[in-house]
């Protein structure tokens, strides 16, 4: 890990209070959650601000260290790209796909049951396989390289998020 010194301040000795991830996300969504994986680390903030911006804000104003994993940077870049593509879908359509209209992707899982633990990472993989079979066209070369990036450093859920966003 590389440390970039910014300012010589005394770091607080106490940890931020941990929050209940399911409870906080449920409040933010305003509806019941079918299934949610616990984060691999302590969950300390849930706001309507982008998580990376919130982390930088909290670290700066709380005089706390900020550690950014490659996953945090990668996921932020993917989110930004996906928001841009979603906002300009029609203008960008011919650069990404061969079809003129929307295509419905469907994964059938008769083994899934509401209220039960279900293997969601497998579903993300099945959707990714359908997208790959559609043979997208015109993707810039750097996107094709990034799509296969597999340096995710956390857990299976993070890999699922990376797969879903690529």
Alpha-carbon span 153 to 40, nearest angstrom = 11
The DSSP secondary structure of 25-71, one letter per residue, reads HHHHHTS--S--PPPSS------SS-HHHHHHHHHHHTT------HH
pLDDT in tens, 7-60: 777 778 888 888 888 888 888 888 878 888 777 777 888 888 888 899 899 988
pLDDT of 114 higher than 90 = no
Q: Which two tokens stand for residue 52?
A: 């990376």
The structure's pTM equals 0.60
Query: Can you tell me whether residue 124 is helix, strand or coil?
Result: helix
pLDDT digits over 53-91, tens only? 998 999 888 888 887 888 788 888 888 988 998 999 889
């Amino acid at each position: 890990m590389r440390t970039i010194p910014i300012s010589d301040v005394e770091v607080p000795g106490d940890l931020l209070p941990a929050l209940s991830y399911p409870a906080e996300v449920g409040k933010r969504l305003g509806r019941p959650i079918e299934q949610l994986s616990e984060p691999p680390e302590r969950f300390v903030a849930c706001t309507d601000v982008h998580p990376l911006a919130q982390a930088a804000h909290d670290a700066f104003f709380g005089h706390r260290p900020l550690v950014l994993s490659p996953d945090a940077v990668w996921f932020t870049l993917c989110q930004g790209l996906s928001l841009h593509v979603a906002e300009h879908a029609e203008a960008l359509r011919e650069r990404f796909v061969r079809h003129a209209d929307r295509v419905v992707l469907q994964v059938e899982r008769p083994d899934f049951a509401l209220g039960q633990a279900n293997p969601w990472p497998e579903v993300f993989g099945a959707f990714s396989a359908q997208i790959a079979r559609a043979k997208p066209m015109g993707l810039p070369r750097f996107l094709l390289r990034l799509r296969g990036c597999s340096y995710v450093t956390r857990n299976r859920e993070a890999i699922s998020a990376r797969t879903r966003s690529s």
